[in-house]
Structure 1
Amino acid sequence: MNQKVERYLQASTRVNTRRSYQQAIEHFEVGWGGFLPATSDAIVRYLVDHAGTLASSTLKLRLAALAQWHVSQGFPDPTKTPLVRQVLKGIRTLHPKPEKQAEPLQLRELEQCVAWLEHVGEQARAESDLTCLLRCWRDRALLLIGFWRAFRSDELCRLQVEHIQLRPGEGMQLFLPWSKGDRDNQGQTYQAPALARLCPVQAYSDWISVAGIARGPVFRGIDRWGHLSEQGLHPHSVIPLLRSVLQGAGLPAELYSSHSLRRGFATWATRSGWDQKALMGYVGWRDAKSALRYVDSTGVFPGQLRPFSPSLDVEAVPGLPSPGARPGS
């Protein structure tokens, strides 16, 4: 195939999707010992052999990967036969598994994390510990932007300084050339509020000021000597970063993941009176099922959208824990 054509075909599929599909194909061929192209009977045997161990959502992803491989190679799709569909339906019936969800990071916990980062950061400034100060200010900005914009890990890691505009006292505008919900790759502009407390705008401004970043990735790795990487953080690094902060703030880190910021915002917005349509529009969800998956089960969708309050009335934070381990790299 022409290299230019291949390049655009690669660009049409998300990196995470390509990686997931590749892993699914390897699991079918190497892990299970299947052959490609496959028959529908082989697909059925594959499903049955993993019915009790893999969630039906995982099996659906594996089928999507196998379907894509066959279609792209010019073979008939063996996953679309009635037998395969019936077997998958039977697996969902006989092996129901609850979907695992990360704990939402509630506003109270977010404030506790930010308070700890600011405490450690100011201590590092007093001790002229630039490396620790950089990590604290980076992590604070990442948490607050991630929460108030309900961003995914990969969206946070792809933010570029030149794509962000600050309006002091009002908010900030963030542009992403593409995102998971942007099916046509037209790019999308997001707004984040300026708040009296837990302000993402001020946290971002403090971070790029102390880091001296004028362009390129907003969130970067920091080595032990305080040198900033030229590359943005990898999405997989967000979970250990978040858990390091949670642990330092005295919270049970193992309950949370990078989705906790997104779930936390959705839960906060719902309890603050945002209706379902407003929440979907703000976050970028296209269907109600996506929204409901992120809202804590105790939440409902009452009333209409209530705009951000600059005063951000939140409960008082419990006593700040004494600093433990400092933020990780």
Structure 2
Amino acid sequence: MPLAPKTHLPNSPPALSAHDRDALHDLYVRGTPQNTLRAYERDLTYITAWKALRADQVGSKPVLCWPEQEDIALMFILDHTRDLNKAPNDDPARQVAEALIERELRKTLACPAPSTLDRRIASWRAFHRMKNLESPFAAPLIKQARAKGRKAAARAPAPKSAHPITREVLEALLATCDASLRGVRDRALLMLGWASGGRRRSEITRLMREDVSLKEFQCKGLIWIQMVESKTTSKGETPRLVLKGRGAQALYHWIEVAGITEGGLFRAISKSGRALPRNLSPDAVYQIVRKRLALAGYPDGFASPHGLRSGFLTQAALDGAPIQAAMRLSLHRSMAQAQKYYDDVDVAENPAADLLG
């Protein structure tokens, strides 16, 4: 588990001993999801680099202040709510952006997506809360500037996967999985990721053998999965998920041939074709989906691992499954979010769309 930088931690009361401060540090690390810790680290690196470059231009202190100055917070919003491709070469914001691109902390001069800016500001505000300090982003002028910037930069949200991996696409991917250990693993991973409700990459790679119950497989063909947590559920609150039919058979086969009795469920495979103790990383799931799509003849970029999630809900809608039933497996917290997949199917099947013939 990554260790949280000291910036992530609250200011400890002076009376705390060194041992208690370490315990507080450990508490915040254990109580914060790993994905959030990684996002904090990325955002802190970006914000620190941006301010160090911008501070030279405005005569401000190069390091982050606690609490941060309001003019710096406002400047951050202004620099990230316009397309700097249209700015002159001597524009301070453009110069900083070009330097960030050279450091590979920024991709282009284009205006970042509002969601990206929102996340970075949310991280910055979280750092203040952890230090028991008021954030400058709560100031009325800055709040209004952020709202105006969000409207000015509004754009249609890009889908996390270009296409959903519906049943037809999934079958094509499964057909590329041979009888090798790698093929057995990929088949089980794809089936579990799709049929258990459309699991996220982090949820798939975090699964342990201890999270999977095979007690009802022989008699009922069911495998029960108990995730520790998900993006929308906390530890101890995630309901059990079920895998049945071909999906259960594929997972059982993988567990048997790989000889997995404890530890990570989906593992890296050596060049000699042996299952290693090391868990797959979320990026490995991306590579598996990309490889199987290519082998199935789909163009590069056709879908991402999130296509397993969107494909499950899209197929549920196509098959007429009640949205509440699909959500019990997908663990969507928002009915509106899940409804989007059903709405797309409903529009496509709407007879009014065929009026022209």
Q: What is the aligned counterpart of 2:299 among 242, 252, 256?
A: 252
**CA contact under 8 A between 1:135 and 1:222: conserved in structure 2?**
yes
Matched, 1:265 2:317: no
**CA contact under 8 A between 2:228 and 2:235: conserved in structure 1?**
no
Counterpart of 1:127 in structure 2 is none
Counterpart of 2:96 in structure 1 is none
Deviation at 1:277, TM superposition (A): 2.7
TM-score scaled by length of structure 2: 0.74
Counterpart of 2:322 in structure 1 is 275
Deviation at 1:109, TM superposition (A): 0.9
Matched, 1:298 2:349: no
Matched, 1:113 2:173: yes
In structure 2, distance between residues paired with 1:153 and 1:90: 34
Q: Which runs of structure 1 show a deviation greater than 3 angstroms over 4 or more consecutive aligned residues?
A: 184-188
Output the amino acid matched with 1:248.
L
Matched, 1:60 2:90: no
Deviation at 1:296, TM superposition (A): 6.9
**CA contact under 8 A between 1:217 and 1:230: conserved in structure 2?**
yes
- Number of residues paired by the alignment? 283
* Contiguous gaps of at least 5 residues in structure 1: 122-132, 302-329
Matched, 1:45 2:72: no
Counterpart of 1:23 in structure 2 is 42
Q: What is the aligned counterpart of 2:210 among 154, 162, 170?
A: 162
Aligned-pair Cα RMSD in Å: 1.9
Q: What is the aligned counterpart of 2:231 among 152, 158, 180?
A: 180
Counterpart of 2:33 in structure 1 is 14
* Contiguous gaps of at least 5 residues in structure 2: 1-19, 53-61, 83-110, 348-357
**CA contact under 8 A between 1:43 and 1:84: conserved in structure 2?**
yes
**CA contact under 8 A between 2:264 and 2:278: conserved in structure 1?**
yes
| 1:36 partner SS | coil
CA deviation string 1:211-263 (max 9, x = no partner): 11112111011121123221211112211111011111111241211101001
Counterpart of 1:314 in structure 2 is none
TM-score scaled by length of structure 1: 0.80
Q: What is the aligned counterpart of 2:268 among 221, 227, 230?
A: 221
In structure 2, distance between residues paired with 1:296 and 1:222: 38
CA deviation string 1:15-40 (max 9, x = no partner): 11111122112211113436323123
Counterpart of 2:65 in structure 1 is 36
Deviation at 1:297, TM superposition (A): 5.8
In structure 2, distance between residues paired with 1:206 and 1:214: 13
* Structure (1 or 2) with the larger CA radius of gyration: 2
Deviation at 1:188, TM superposition (A): 3.4
Counterpart of 1:98 in structure 2 is 156
Counterpart of 1:72 in structure 2 is 130
CA deviation string 1:98-143 (max 9, x = no partner): 21211211111100111121xx32xxxxxxxxxxx01100000000
| 1:188 partner SS | coil
Mean alpha-carbon deviation: is it higher for 167-176 or for 200-209? 167-176
Deviation at 1:97, TM superposition (A): 2.0
Deviation at 1:210, TM superposition (A): 1.6
In structure 2, distance between residues paired with 1:160 and 1:19: 21
In structure 1, distance between residues paired with 2:183 and 2:164: 22
In structure 2, distance between residues paired with 1:253 and 1:113: 14
